[in-house]
């Protein structure tokens, strides 16, 4: 086996040193009843060439050469070449969590820069080294709010990503955290502040909204903050489209920001791995889950970084820890760090402006269902047929349409969620529009 670096003679020599006659003897202390008496029923090992072949075949069974207008929490953005160049370096790829600071300054420095950039983007004081993803950052934020306020109830907007809400329910069920939902306004698609107000009580520790929300609408962070704070709850603001922060006012009124960084050069990869974040105000630092990197000095007085405030964490606190999280998403967070570096101050703005322009170009050809302001996603009502029927017609033209919303919102069964990014070409958008309008995309439409 090519990954095993020993010759037979080396193995024999080592067995001799160990004082055993055969490799089998190394396992002689295992009770007979637990031993597997047959070989594993798995195919024999194969070469690199065959492995590439196998996965190319699987890739071919997926889509190839399709244009897509899917967003809904996972976005198609160009991945700068530098991203894979950096994360493919063995020093980043094949190192462990940086417990030994003296030989992990590369990872630690990059995480410190990551934490800083996430603060700059979100308007928060402190950010952790990353979470598994946006969906699991939500329950972690809710639990954090419960610890900070001593109140377990959480109110979450129906306009938060439906799968994120499902994850929150799973986590909350056994922790004395009742979760209730509040609605959105049928005309604007923004949160229903009156419904929120009605459902608020003094046992609520967290109000959770998303902006831009699942419908793409820029939501009412300030108003939600006021309502939450008046009753002693924290406001958690969720985002799934990180590029929006290049142009949108950061949710500075939030107490906790829980987001997903997939848009920052992380491949869609059929749902993961991605990287989530939790950022917050200074006063809640000790309630934060996950790893934190801090600045300090070494014994020669040079600036250095190390993991810090570990007394919140499971390996020290065990059952009293703020979270059971251990692994974070360091390499994926590094992708996001390189992305933010490549685009920088000016580039992220321009990128956001292109997304805004493309989505508004597309939306102008549809009847957006909601009047609220939107960034690069919007809900479109499909006329004359179901969204599923339209999508089937589009597939014949190698276009993947929007996400039909009936699955998550029965009241929106006639609508789909469409997304356009800097990677959506005008010609493809025109082709989509032509199909939606019931005409085949002729040359004159594409011109």
Partner 1 sequence: MITKVRNHLSQNEALLFERSSPGKKAFQLPALDVPPVDAAEALGAGNVRAAIEGFPEVSEVEAIRHFTRLSTWNYAIDHGMYPLGSCTMKYNPRINELVARIDGLAWAHPYQPESLAQGSMEVMARVEAALAEITGMDAVTLQPAAGAHGELTGILLIRALLEKRGNPRKKILIPDSAHGTNPATAAIAGYMVQNIKSSDTGVLDVSALAQLVDQDVAALMVTNPNTLGVFEHNIIQAAEILHKKGAMLYMDGANMNALVGIARPGDFGVDVMHLNLHKTFSTPHGGGGPGAGPVAVKKPLEPFLPAPRLKHSARKWTWDYKRKHSIGRVKAFYGNFGVLVRALAYILAHGGEGLRNATVDAVLNAVYIRKQLEPYFDLPYSSPNMHEVVFSDHRQAALGVHTGDIAKRLIDYGFHPYTVSFPLIVHGALMIEPTETEGKLELDQFIEAMISIAKEVETDPHTVKNAPYGTRTSRVDEVTAARKPVLRWKPA
Q: For residues 315-374, which are near partner 1 according to CB under 8 A? A: 315-321, 323-332, 334, 338, 340-351, 353-354, 356-358, 360-361, 373
Q: Is 276 helix (H, G, I), strand (E, B) or coil?
A: strand
What are the tokens at 248? Answer: 């949108």
Q: Is residue 42 part of the contact set for partner 1 (CB under 8 A)?
A: yes
Residue 445 exposed, middle or buried by CB count within 10 Å (0-12, 13-18, 19+): middle
For residue 152, the minimal CB distance to partner 1 (Å) is 12
Q: For partner 1, give the closer residue by CB, 184 or 305.
A: 305
Place of tokens 């295992």: 30
For residue 88, the minimal CB distance to partner 1 (Å) is 7
Residues 6 or more apart whose Cβ sits within 8 Å of residue 21: 15
Q: Are strands 256-260 and 234-239 parallel, antiparallel or unpaired?
A: parallel
Under 8 Å between Cβ of 379 and 215? yes
- How far does CA 277 lie from the centroid of its chain? 8
CA distance 230 to 442: 57
**203, 223, 400, 433: residue in contact with partner 1 (rule CB under 8 A):** 400
For residue 198, the minimal CB distance to partner 1 (Å) is 26
How far is the first Cα of the chain from the last one, in angstroms, to the nearest whole number?
56
**178, 294, 440, 442: residue in contact with partner 1 (rule CB under 8 A):** 294
What are the tokens at 166? Answer: 């499902």
Q: Give the binding range for partner 1 (CB under 8 A) out of 18-26, 179-187, 201-209, 223-231.
A: 18-26
Place of tokens 């992380």: 266
Number of residues that bind partner 1 (CB under 8 A): 198
Q: For partner 1, give the closer residue by CB, 25 or 198.
A: 25
Q: Is residue 161 part of the contact set for partner 1 (CB under 8 A)?
A: yes
194-223: contacts with partner 1 (CB under 8 A): 218
For residue 87, the minimal CB distance to partner 1 (Å) is 8
How does DSSP classify residue 112? H
Q: Are strands 153-157 and 204-210 parallel, antiparallel or unpaired?
A: parallel
Q: Is 326 helix (H, G, I), strand (E, B) or coil?
A: coil
Q: How many residues does the chain have?
A: 447
**426, 438, 439, 442: residue in contact with partner 1 (rule CB under 8 A):** 426
59-118: contacts with partner 1 (CB under 8 A): 59-64, 66, 68, 70, 72-74, 76, 80, 82, 84-98, 100-107, 109-113, 115-117
Interaction pattern, residues 251-280, with partner 1; x per rule: CB under 8 A:
----------------xxxxxxx-x-----
């Amino acid at each position: 086996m090519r990954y095993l670096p020993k010759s037979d003679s080396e193995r024999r020599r080592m067995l001799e040193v160990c004082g055993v006659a055969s490799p089998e003897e190394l396992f002689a202390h295992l009770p007979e009843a637990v031993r597997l008496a047959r070989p594993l029923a798995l195919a024999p090992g194969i070469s690199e060439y065959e492995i590439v072949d196998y996965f190319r075949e699987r890739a071919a069974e997926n889509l190839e050469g399709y244009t897509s207008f899917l967003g809904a929490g996972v976005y198609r953005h160009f991945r700068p070449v530098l991203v894979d160049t950096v994360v493919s370096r063995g020093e980043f790829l094949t190192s462990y969590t940086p417990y030994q600071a003296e030989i992990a300054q590369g990872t630690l420095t990059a995480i410190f820069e990551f934490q800083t950039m996430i603060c700059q983007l979100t308007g928060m004081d402190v950010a952790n080294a990353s979470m598994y993803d946006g969906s699991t950052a939500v329950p972690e934020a809710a639990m954090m709010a419960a610890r900070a306020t001593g109140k377990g109830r959480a109110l979450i907007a129906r306009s938060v990503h439906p799968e994120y809400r499902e994850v929150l329910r799973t986590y909350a069920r056994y922790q004395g955290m009742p979760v209730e939902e509040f609605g959105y306004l049928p005309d604007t698609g923004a949160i229903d502040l009156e419904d929120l107000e009605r459902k608020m009580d003094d046992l609520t520790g967290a109000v959770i909204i998303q902006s831009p929300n699942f419908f793409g609408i820029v939501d009412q962070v300030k108003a939600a903050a006021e309502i939450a704070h008046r009753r002693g709850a924290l406001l958690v603001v969720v985002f799934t489209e990180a590029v929006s922060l290049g142009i949108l006012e950061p949710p500075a009124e939030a107490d906790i920001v829980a987001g997903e960084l997939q848009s920052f050069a992380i491949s869609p990869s059929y749902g993961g791995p991605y990287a989530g974040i939790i950022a917050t105000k200074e006063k809640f630092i000790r309630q934060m889950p996950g790893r934190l990197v801090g600045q300090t000095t070494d014994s020669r007085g040079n600036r250095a970084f190390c993991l810090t405030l570990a007394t919140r964490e499971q390996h020290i606190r065990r059952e009293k820890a703020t979270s059971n999280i251990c692994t974070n998403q360091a390499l994926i967070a590094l992708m996001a760090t390189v992305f933010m570096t490549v685009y920088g101050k000016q580039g992220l703005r321009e990128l956001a402006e292109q997304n805004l322009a493309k989505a508004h170009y597309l939306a102008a050809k549809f009847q957006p269902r909601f009047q609220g302001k939107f960034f690069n996603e919007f809900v479109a009502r499909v006329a004359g047929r179901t969204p599923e029927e339209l999508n089937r017609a589009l597939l014949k033209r190698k276009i993947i349409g929007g996400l039909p919303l009936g699955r998550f919102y029965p009241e929106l069964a006639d609508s789909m969620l469409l997304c356009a990014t800097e990677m959506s070409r005008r010609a493809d958008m025109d082709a989509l529009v032509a199909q939606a309008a019931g005409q085949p995309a002729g040359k004159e439409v594409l011109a």
